[in-house]
Amino acid sequence: MTLTRTTATFPPPVMEARRWLEGVSFDAERPLINVSQAAPVEPPPHALRQAMADAALMQDDAHLYGPVLGMPALRSALSTQMNTHYGANTRADHVCITSGCNQAFAAAMSSLCAEGDEVILPTPWYFNHKMWLDMTGVHAVPLAAGADMLPDVDAAAALITDRTRAIALVTPNNPAGVEYPADLVLSFYNLAKARGIALIVDETYRDFDSRAGVPHPLFQQDGWEDTFIHLYSFSKAYRLTGHRVGALVSSPARLAECEKFLDTVAICPGQIGQYAALWGVENLGQWVAGERTEILDRRAAISAGFPSLQTKGWELLGLGAYFAYMSHPFEMSSADLAPFLVREAGVLCLPGTMFWPEDAPEGQRQLRIAFANLDASGIQSLFDRLAALDL
C-alpha cells in the first residue's frame, strides 16, 4: 500500500474495538458492559432539546453558514463562563468555536507546526492527538508518566529540541483520569514560556473535576495567550456529542491562523449545536452541577468496590473524570486480553496498548475503563466479572 497521510497512523481505537463485537452474542441475563467510549449515551435534557427544536424552527440563520470562528454570542458566553471558572479575564475575541474538541486540537497544531516538527505528548496519550500528529507529519515525542500517572517537568525539558513546537496536556486526563495539580500545570506553563513553545491544555472533562475552586492559574498569568492554548468541549457537559461543539482559547493572532484551517475544513461549526451550547451555558449550570455529582458518586463507587479486584492482583493506576485506568495481573498482553474480555466476560474496554507507543511495555498490562455510563450496580457487575477471570 502506498504510504499516505492516513496510512501513517493506526485505525480509530473505539471503532476497532467495536469490531470485536462481531459474531458475539450476549444473554439478556448477562448483557454487554460497554466501557470503551467516554461519551454520554443519554440525550440532552428535554429543555435543551426543545431549545434546539425552537432554533431549528425559528432561527433562519441556524440553517446558513455562520462565522468561521463561531457564533459571537456563544464566544462571549463562554468567555464569561471561563472568567468565573478560572478567575480569568478573557475576552470573546480570545475564543473560537470548533466542530468538537478534536478539531480544536487539529486547528491549534496547524497553527503551530510544519512537517517534521515535534510535539511532546505525555503517555499514556489520548490516541486522537497522536493520530492527528501522525497524519500531519509531526513527530509525537512520548513523555512517560510516573507511577502516579503524572508527567515530570524536568523530563519534558530534556526532550525539547529546536523542532519542538508544543507540549500537550490533558487534565482531567484521558485515559488515566488523574487531575493534574495546579502547581504542576503552572510548572509546564513556565517551561513552555521559557523555551518559546506553546502549552496546550485539553480540558474536555473540566466540568467533572472533583476539586473545588480554580483548577489552575494559567489564565491569570501576564501574557498567558502568547504561550497557553486552552481546549474545551461542550459535548460532555450538555450531552451534545453528536452535534460536535468545542472551543479553542488563545490570542486573537493565533485565532486568525486557526481561521484559515477551520474555513478550509468545515467553513463554520454547526449552527444548531452552537445554539444548544449557548442555551446550555445560559441555563444549565445547576443541571451540570448535578451531572458532576453523579459522576463523582460513580467515581466513589469505583474506589469502594476496587478491593475485590485488588485482592486478585489488579491495580488502580488512575481515577477521575470518566475514567478508571487499571493494570491487570495476567501474562496476556492487554491487546489480546481486551477482545478476550468481550467473548468471555461480556466487557468491552480499551487496552493500554492503544495509549502508548507500539514498543512500550507499560500498555501491555493496562486497561482503560470509561465508567461514566455505569451506575453503582453496573460498576459492581463489572468488578464481579473481572474478578471471576481465571487465566
Q: Which residues pair with 367 in a beta bridge?
A: 326, 351
Closest by CA to 270, choosing from 47, 39, 63, 50, is 63
DSSP state of 323: E
Q: At 95, list the grid cell.
A: 475564543
DSSP letters, 377-388, are HHHHHHHHHHHT
Contacts of 291 (CB under 8 A, 6+ apart): 207, 208, 237
Residue 288: the pLDDT is: 97
Residue 111 region, left (φ>0) first, then alpha (ψ -120 to 50), else beta? alpha
Query: 118-123 and 164-170 as β-strands: parallel, antiparallel, unpaired?
Result: parallel
DSSP letters, 1-16, are ----TTTTSPPPHHHH
Give the amino acid at 378. Answer: G
Contacts of 202 (CB under 8 A, 6+ apart): 101, 105, 126, 129, 168, 169, 170, 171, 174, 231
Distances (CA, A) of 171 to 155, 197, 231: 18, 19, 10
Residue 177 to residue 374: CA distance in whole angstroms: 16
Ranges for all domains in the chain classified under CATH 3.40.640.10: 64-283
Ranges for all domains in the chain classified under CATH 3.90.1150.10: 13-43+287-387
For residues 388 and 345, is the Cβ–Cβ distance under 8 A? yes
Residue 39: the pLDDT is: 81
Q: Which residues of the chain fall short of a pLDDT of 50? A: none
DSSP state of 234: S
* CATH number of this structure's domain 64-283, picked from the four choices 3.20.20.80, 3.40.640.10, 2.40.37.10, 1.10.357.10: 3.40.640.10
Q: At 121, list the grid cell.
A: 505528548
Closest by CA to 218, choosing from 183, 248, 253, 246, is 183
Residue 211 to residue 233: CA distance in whole angstroms: 19
Residue 9 to residue 324: CA distance in whole angstroms: 26
For residues 9 and 137, is the Cβ–Cβ distance under 8 A? no
Residue 34: the pLDDT is: 95
Q: What is the pLDDT of residues 38-66, one digit of tens each?
A: 888 889 999 999 999 999 999 999 999 99
Cell 508518566 -> residue: 145
Q: Which CATH code for domain 13-43+287-387?
A: 3.90.1150.10
For residues 178 and 172, is the Cβ–Cβ distance under 8 A? yes
Contacts of 310 (CB under 8 A, 6+ apart): 316
Cell 490570542 -> residue: 251
Q: Which residues pair with 249 in a beta bridge?
A: 95, 230
Residue 128 to residue 143: CA distance in whole angstroms: 16
Question: Beta strands of the chain (E only): which ranges?
Answer: 33-34, 95-98, 118-123, 139-144, 164-170, 198-202, 228-233, 246-249, 315-320, 323-327, 347-348, 350-351, 366-370
Residue 1: the pLDDT is: 67
Closest by CA to 166, choosing from 108, 133, 119, 202, is 119
